[in-house]
Amino acid sequence: MEANGEETNPGFDPNKNYDEDTLAQQREIEKEIAAAQSMVSQLYTFDEIVEEYSQEDAIYRQKVEDLKTRFKNLRKTRGDGNCFYRAFGFAYLEILLSNAKEYKRFFDVAQKSKDELIGLGFPQFTLEDFHDTFMDVVKMVEKPGTVDALLNAFNDGGLSDYFVVYLRLLVSGHLQQNADLYIYFIDGERTVKEFCSQEVEPMGKESDHIHIVSLTKALQVPICVEYMDREGDKCNSFTFNPFEGSADTTDPTPVFTLLYRPGHYDILYPL
């Protein structure tokens, strides 16, 4: 690869690696975000949320009013590209605190998932590291668990980030297991495995529709997402029903609801 056009920029130093400067700057921005936002926040009211939008921003202000008619509170997650997984993980475990039957089901699915992932070719040695920590966090539900203990765990990088990594592996595993189905939903000339290693497994990679479908199916957890964008005057809600199209007659009522604002997921609490 020859470097062309260097002469046209007198300030260009060919011995300097500018890409690394860009990456270093990116790291700095990530640090600022980390310092300013908790990974999972305390509860907010919508009166606090509405202040994020200027008086002139009528559409968003109106949509916050719409949310107020159905939801009481909101918990914010850190905008670090992992927000969907963190919101999903926290909201779900919080629900499990008061649903022993669903906890038991989930615990078994989570326990078994390790061998399935190893069967798909994930390296056992490093996978176990994440699975162990994942299960430690899951078990906090039965200790008996409290919302505060979960909140602390989800704000402890060594637990919270490892939990996110494992959810990412579950998504990757589900996509790979059903590659013939998902290949049509992947853009670019990529295999499902390549998509997983580029867009799912690495930390900080944001989630799209396909990630959500995959996680709800992998764990068999129906969820609802309220979409808050510039279209219309109400939020559009969408239910991800993992049982759709199957013979499974499990109740598809969403277990919890997330709020999507362009590029970001938070957790909603109903009235």
Partner 1 sequence: MAGSALKRLMAEYKQLTLNPPEGIIAGPVDEENFFEWEALIMGPADTCFAGGVFPARLSFPSDYPLSPPKMKFTCEIFHPNIYTDGRVCISILHAPGDDPMGYETSAERWSPVQSVEKILLSVVSMLSEPNDESAANVDAAKTWRDDRKGFDEIAKVTVRKSLGL
Nearer to partner 1, 84 or 240 (CB): 84
Residue 20 touching partner 1 (CB under 8 A): yes
Query: How far, in Å, are 86, 251, 257 from residue 48 at the CA level?
Result: 22, 34, 19
- Of positions 198, 236, 246, 250, contacts partner 1 by CB under 8 A: 198
Please report how close the Cβ of residue 129 comes to partner 1 at its closest, in angstroms: 6
Site string for partner 1, 144-183 (x = CB under 8 A): ------------xxxx-xx--x---x--------------
Q: Return d(Cα 89, Cα 225) in angstroms, integer.
A: 14
Please report how close the Cβ of residue 153 comes to partner 1 at its closest, in angstroms: 9
Q: Cα dihedral sign for 254, 260, 263, 264? A: negative
Site string for partner 1, 76-115 (x = CB under 8 A): ----------------------------------------
* Catalytic pick among 131, 174, 211, 264: 264
Q: Cα dihedral sign for 268, 54, 30, 43? A: negative
Where does residue 155 rank: exposed (0-12), middle (13-18), buried (19+ CB within 10 A)? middle
Please report how close the Cβ of residue 136 comes to partner 1 at its closest, in angstroms: 7
**Is 209 an active-site residue?**
no
**Is 224 an active-site residue?**
no
Q: Are 140 and 93 in contact (CB under 8 A)?
A: yes
Q: Beta partners for 236? A: 227
124 alpha carbon, distance to own chain's centre? 24
**Is 264 an active-site residue?**
yes
Q: Return d(Cα 21, Cα 60) in angstroms, integer.
A: 37
- Side chain identity at residue 209, one-letter code: H
- Of positions 68, 105, 205, 261, contacts partner 1 by CB under 8 A: 205
Per CB under 8 A, residues contacting partner 1 are 1-3, 17, 19-20, 23, 26, 122-123, 125-127, 129-130, 132-133, 136, 156-159, 161-162, 165, 169, 188-190, 194, 197-199, 201-205
Active site residues: 80, 83, 264
